């Protein structure tokens, strides 16, 4: 239990660091946010394709795996479509900081949506360990890496919505702390869960991660110069290849 919470704390602290960077260096943070998002998306895609879905698939039939992954994708799509973006980086890509002030009216919905996503990140860290019977460092790496631009973008959105820097950082810390809640729920509530149940939940989370990758990538390529899009896609592809190599190496060492 303590080891899982230590790993979820690492991911949470990285999100806190992203929030602090977003508040302290808003202009610099917003300028480089797209590159960080693509690097994180590439790593998240690699972990989902090579780690999460295959591990879940060992406990499920192919139809059950597809259905569970589709449910995770569909849930976040519904929240993002009808409630508020679950990916703050996706929201900030469509708004400059001056127009983001309109977000103040919907800030509660924004925090709830991102809190749900962060909670599932924590559950993923806990379930990833249980389903493979060891520390699933691939999931931790992907969750931690995408927490940096997530925390940064959330803080930037709150600052753009008119919140003072300390207030924006406080809300960012509070929302991202739900990652720890998810890890705790995963450890306590799912400790004795049957393997098929863990597989369904892991595949569901994997589908949600695919939604984050798709929405982030799509948001940052709209209305961008072709050269900028190529650069971001190159960064994402490189992160995907490097993470895939690391996962395969770690898998061979674990055998």
Predicted confidence (pLDDT) at residue 48 exceeds the cutoff of 90: yes
Residue 97: predicted pLDDT: 44
Residue 221: predicted pLDDT: 52
Distances (CA, A) of 80 to 51, 119, 152, 212: 25, 16, 19, 10
Total residues found in the chain within this entry: 255
Residue 53: predicted pLDDT: 94
What pLDDT digit, counting tens, does each position of 162-180 carry?
788 888 899 999 999 999 9
**How far is residue 64's CA from residue 10's CA, in Å, rounded to a whole number?**
32
Residue 68: predicted pLDDT: 96
Q: How confident is residue 92, by pLDDT bands cut at 50, 70 and 90?
A: low
> Buried b vs exposed e over 126-158: b needs ≥16 C-beta within 10 Å?
bbbbbbbeeebbbbbbbbbbbbbbbbbbbbbbb
Distances (CA, A) of 92 to 42, 166, 213: 19, 19, 15
Predicted confidence (pLDDT) at residue 60 exceeds the cutoff of 90: yes
Task: Give the E-state strand segments of the chain in sequence order.
Answer: none
Predicted confidence (pLDDT) at residue 83 exceeds the cutoff of 50: yes
Q: How confident is residue 1, by pLDDT bands cut at 50, 70 and 90?
A: low
Residue 130: predicted pLDDT: 86
Q: How confident is residue 98, by pLDDT bands cut at 50, 70 and 90?
A: very low
Of 44, 220, 204, residue with least CA distance to 140? 44
> Higher model confidence: residue 84 or residue 52?
52
Question: What residues have CB less than 8 Å from 120, skipping those under 6 apart?
Answer: 182, 205, 208
DSSP string, 82-108: HT--S-HHHHHHT--TTGGGGGGGGHH
Average pLDDT (222-242) is 72
Residue 90: predicted pLDDT: 63
Q: At what angle do helices 226-254 and 195-221 cross, to 10 degrees?
A: 160
Predicted confidence (pLDDT) at residue 50 exceeds the cutoff of 60: yes
DSSP string, 63-82: HHHHHHHHHHHHHHHHHHHH
The pair of three-digit structure tokens given for residue 220, joined into one six-digit string: 């940052």
Residue 180: predicted pLDDT: 92
Report helix, strand and coil shares of the chain as percent, to nearest 5: 85, 0, 15
> Higher model confidence: residue 135 or residue 6?
6
DSSP 60: S
Give the highest mean pLDDT range of 26-30, 64-68, 97-101.
64-68
Residue 114: predicted pLDDT: 83
Predicted confidence (pLDDT) at residue 184 exceeds the cutoff of 50: yes
């Amino acid at each position: 239990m303590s080891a899982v919470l230590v790993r979820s704390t690492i991911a949470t602290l990285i999100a806190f660091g992203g929030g602090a960077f977003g508040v302290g260096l808003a202009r610099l943070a917003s300028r480089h946010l797209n590159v960080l998002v693509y690097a994180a998306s590439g790593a998240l895609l690699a972990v989902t394709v090579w780690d999460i879905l295959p591990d879940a698939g060992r406990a499920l039939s192919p139809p059950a795996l597809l259905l569970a992954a589709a449910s995770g994708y569909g849930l976040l799509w519904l929240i993002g479509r009808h409630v508020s973006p679950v990916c703050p980086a996706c929201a900030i890509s469509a708004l400059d900081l001056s127009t983001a002030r309109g977000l103040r009216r919907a800030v509660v919905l924004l925090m709830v949506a991102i809190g749900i996503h962060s909670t599932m990140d924590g559950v993923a860290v806990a379930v990833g360990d249980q389903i493979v019977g060891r520390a699933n460092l691939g999931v931790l790496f992907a969750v931690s890496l995408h927490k940096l631009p997530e925390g940064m973008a959330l803080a930037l959105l709150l600052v753009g919505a008119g919140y003072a820097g300390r207030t924006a950082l406080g809300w960012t810390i509070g929302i991202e702390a739900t990652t720890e809640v998810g890890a705790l729920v995963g450890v306590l509530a799912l400790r004795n869960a049957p393997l098929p149940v863990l597989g369904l939940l892991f595949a569901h989370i994997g589908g949600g991660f695919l939604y984050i990758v798709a929405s982030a990538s799509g948001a940052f390529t709209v209305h961008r110069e072709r050269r900028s899009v190529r650069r971001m896609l190159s960064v994402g592809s490189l992160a995907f290849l490097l993470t895939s190599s690391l996962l395969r190496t770690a898998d061979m060492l674990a055998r």
